[in-house]
């Protein structure tokens, strides 16, 4: 197959790994906030997510730095997409509005 096919496959693999990593981070934060053992949630989540991503990049890269760069680009694209999809809109009564009001009283 052509090298362009492998670069596109690396880009898509990087996007999948990024979705797993940053989607897992978002899920962990939501679960840990409601848990009595938040530190354990964050610790084990980070270990699991990092292991998955490192193994994924290791097997995807092979011996080509071009595939590594394509995978990193896909990983970064996934980060931007997850940030956009999980962003909450500012609604009245949210914590951010309360913090803005409190900041107005600071000296």
Please report which residue ranges of the chain form alpha helices under DSSP H.
3-33, 38-61, 65-86, 95-103
Q: How far apart are the first and last CA of the chain?
A: 65
Whether 15 and 74 have beta carbons less than 8 Å apart is answered as yes
pLDDT of residue 107: 56
Residue range 22-39, pLDDT digits in tens? 999 999 999 999 989 999
Please state the pTM of the whole predicted model. 0.77
Contacts for 6 with CB less than 8 Å, ≥ 6 apart: 64, 67
Query: Can you read off the two tokens belonging to residue 62?
Result: 């092979």
Nearest of 29, 33, 35, 46 to residue 83 by alpha carbon: 29
pLDDT of residue 2: 79
């Amino acid at each position: 197959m052509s090298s362009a096919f492998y670069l596109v496959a690396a880009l898509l693999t990087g996007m999948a790994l990024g979705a797993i990593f940053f989607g897992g981070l978002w899920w962990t934060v939501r679960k840990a906030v409601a848990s009595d053992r938040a530190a354990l949630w964050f610790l084990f989540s980070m270990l699991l997510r990092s292991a998955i991503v490192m193994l994924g990049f290791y097997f995807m890269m092979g011996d080509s730095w071009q595939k590594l760069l394509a995978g990193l680009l896909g990983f970064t694209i996934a980060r931007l997409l997850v940030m956009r999809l999980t962003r909450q809109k500012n609604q009245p009564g949210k914590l951010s509005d309360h913090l803005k009001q409190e900041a107005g009283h600071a000296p």
